[in-house]
Structure 1
Amino acid sequence: MIFWSTWVLVAGLGGTALQVQFPRAPLVTVGFAMVLLAVAAVRVWTGAGWPALGAVILALLVWYLPLTPRADRDWAPDVAKIVRGEMVGDQVTLHNVRAFRWHSATEAEEIWQTRRYDLSQLTGADMLTSVWGNPKIAHLVVSFGFVDGQRVVFSVEIRRERDEAFSSIGGFFRQFELALIAADESDIIRLRTNHRAEDVRLYPLRLTPDQLRAVFLRYVELGNDLNAQPRWYNTVTANCTSVVWGLVRVLDPDLPLNRALLLSGLLPDWLYRLGVLADTGDLAAIKARAAISARALALPDAADFSAAIRAPASDPLR
């Protein structure tokens, strides 16, 4: 029984990993299946089989473990560059800030900029969640605001190649590298509200000036680290939520693990219990006030996007 359970596990994991890594070479997967059938036949005919199965496991590990994340692939345009920062006193210079102007969910005028920010002028941070299907699964971004009205959004994302699409299964098997994107709200948020028709909600966070600065700098550090040494994206251990959890532990090293790190749509509930959300009152009412997709869709192109999505309900901008 143990042999056949192990055989099934090797078949499932090994076959999936090969299919993810060699999507245009089906003969690789077919060959793997034939090898496993041969191992099964040896087991049935001789009662042995462990040495052959062990050899298959060893071959898989010798191939899979050395797979190395890279920075020189033919990237999809929206993740072609990872933010990189330089710090002098309170002044931060961010290179590779994305300011795309999206015409559809897949087409945009591609603009990358260098911008400068004064950390002494940080005014606050908002968490935005974006749901496209299952309400318990959301993409998470964090937006920082400054006295002069500037805002910059940090988003931990998969770094897809030009011909790739997101796959949660592929995310388990080293299909994607990890990317940190810094962007305009009128790029990265409008893309989700207006072109992908996602349910986006904005939650102001209750953070002190020192905490704001610390989290901002951790994002900059992450971007610099990824530029220096690429890392794999992982659907569970290195995704938009778990990476951010690692970043914000600078605020509380004892911050516990929570199921919201897997079911990211539950993040507002968790942060509400931790007292991190700045809005007050009943959680259901907070979530209702956080919804911004409808008002974003109603905005004319010339509107101040960041101001409008934060306008109170009585404001005509809404």
Structure 2
Amino acid sequence: MRELRVLAMGGGTVLGGAALYYSTILPDTLRLGLCGGFGVGMVGAQWLRPPWLRHVARGGMAAMLLGWYMTDPPRNDRVWAQEYTIPADAWRTANVVHVAHVRNFRYRSENDLIPAWYDASYDLNGLESVDLVTSYWAGESIAHVFLSFGFADGQHLAISIETRRQARFAYSAIAGFFHHYELFFVTADERDLIGVRTDIRRERVYLYRLDLSPAVREHLFLSYVGAIHDIVHHPLWYNTLTDNCTTGILARAGAKLRYRLDWRVILSGHTAAMAYDMNLLGPYDRARYPDFAALHAASHILRLPGAQIGPDYSAAIRAGLPVPEGSGAP
């Protein structure tokens, strides 16, 4: 029993210290001081006498930390990294969705870019496709996952659920487990959101067609539209476990709870395999693609040397990819 108490106290001290360290408290000296003070206080309470006093001290510090954490509000008025400075807004008028500030950055290199945004309108009656995009930058277990909506007039709108990073912080995967990033919908032209990954960062990017009925496609798109509009006025915290790029898609797609709790939600490099198991991809010719491994290999976007991100980028990246049965062109 004593070992369990020590383990619980140690775990709580580490988590509490991390919550303070990765918080958005200003100035940084206060943030770091509170982090160090919490750890010293929790450990130093061991020498308090009588024993009940140490429990009261630790319980009081833990309660104050929890109270702060539960009431720590997300905000939209921080100094953001450049790619997160201007959020999109979206609203519906009859059967047309209007999106303000569609991001369309042009990249000379990963760190040399020309910021640009435009406004656009999308006809719901022309919503023809939803594509699942997965982008890998290291191994096979972790990928960034997002959707791109295609319309009959040739427009594509890519929407990615991401961390909204402040300019003063470098990116940290660990920070995403705490109140460090606000949640952000990158609502962008494919030449930006996919192009920076295929042509600039040279990540391994895969694109799959989701097998959704017209009604489900529209519901999914409008759920994003509503969330994009709401977050402009009511910011939310990003959380790697509960509200991230993958859970946001699954929740809006109405996935069953067992899939939303699937280990592949955290190891997001396997999200497309999970979608395959859920019969959400395609339908593709099973003779040509008898299993997910074959489909995955064929769904890799390959860019030729010297290829440019031009007006035909959306068509170019789909050339040669598997064509869902009955869909004509991808």
1:173-230 deviation per Cα after TM superposition (whole angstroms, max 9, x unaligned)? 1000000111011101111122222111011111222221111111101101111200
Say if 1:74 and 1:198 are closer, same or farther in 2 by CA, change over 3 A: same
Q: Aligned-residue CA RMSD in angstroms? A: 2.1
Contact 1:218/1:247, CA 8 A, preserved across alignment: yes
Task: Report the Cα distance in structure 1 between the residues aligned to 2:269 and 2:184, rounded to whole angstroms.
Answer: 21
Amino acid at match of 2:160: S
Deviations 1:75-111 (A, max 9, x none): 1121122221121121111111101111221231111
| C-alpha distance after superposition, 1:282-310 (max 9, x if no partner) | 22221111111x31664134462111111
Task: Please report the TM-score for the alignment, with normalisation by the length of structure 2.
Answer: 0.87
Q: AA paired with 1:228?
A: H
The secondary structure found in structure 2 opposite 1:103 is strand
Is the CA contact 1:3–1:50 (under 8 Å) kept in the aligned structure 2?
A: no
Provide structure 1 residue ranges, at least 5 long, that are not aligned to the other structure: 314-318
Q: Does 1:99 align with 2:104?
A: yes
Q: TM-score, normalised by structure 1?
A: 0.91
Structure 2 spans left out of the alignment, 5+ residues? 322-330
Which range moves more in the overlay, 94-103 or 272-281? 272-281
**2:198 corresponds to 1:223:** no
Conserved in 2, the CA contact under 8 Å of 1:81 and 1:96? yes
1:36 aligns with 2:42: yes
Kept in 1, the 8 Å contact 2:142–2:267? The answer is yes
1:297–1:66 CA distance, 2 compared to 1 (3 A): farther
Alignment partners' CA distance in 1, 2:92 and 2:304: 34
1:287 equivalent to 2:296? Answer: yes
Match of 2:12 among 10, 13, 18: 10
> Which residue of the partner structure matches residue 308 of structure 1?
316
Three-state SS of the structure 2 residue aligned to 1:69 is coil
For the 8 Å contact 2:109–2:200, the answer to whether it is kept is yes
Matched, 1:299 2:304: no
Secondary structure (helix, strand or coil) at the match of 2:120 reads: strand
1:258-297 matches, cutoff 5 A: 258-278=262-282, 279-280=284-285, 281-282=289-290, 283-292=292-301, 294-295=302-303
Q: Which residue of 1 aligns with 2:142?
A: 137
**1:163 offset after TM fit, Å?**
2.3
Q: Which has the larger displacement, 261-270 or 15-24? A: 15-24
Bigger shift: 11-20 or 75-84? Answer: 75-84
- The one-letter code of the counterpart of 1:162 is A
Aligned pairs, number: 309
**Alignment pair present for 1:212 and 2:221:** no
* Contact kept? 1:99, 1:113, Cα under 8 Å: yes
Equivalent position of 1:316 in the other structure: none
Amino acid at match of 2:281: L
Say whether the 8 Å CA contact 2:198–2:303 is kept in structure 1: no
Give the superposition deviation at 1:28: 2.8
Q: Which residue of 1 aligns with 2:115?
A: 110
Alignment match, 1:120: 125
Query: Which SS does the other structure have where 1:154 is aligned?
Result: strand
Match of 1:186 among 191, 194, 207: 191
Identity of aligned residues (%): 33
Take 1:93 and 1:255, find their aligned partners in 2: how far apart are those partners?
Answer: 35
Q: 1:87 to 1:68 in 2, by over 3 A?
A: same
Q: Does structure 1 conserve the Cα–Cα contact (< 8 Å) formed by 2:91 and 2:226?
A: no
Distance 1:256 1:161 in 2: 32
CA–CA separation in structure 2 for the residues paired with 1:148 and 1:234: 36
Q: Are the counterparts in 1 of residues 162 and 245 from structure 2 also a CA contact under 8 Å?
A: yes
Secondary structure at the counterpart of residue 320 of structure 2:
coil
Alpha-carbon distance in 1 for matches of 2:177, 2:310: 41
In 2: Cα distance, 1:301 partner to 1:275 partner: 32
The Cα of 1:5 is off from its aligned counterpart by 2.3
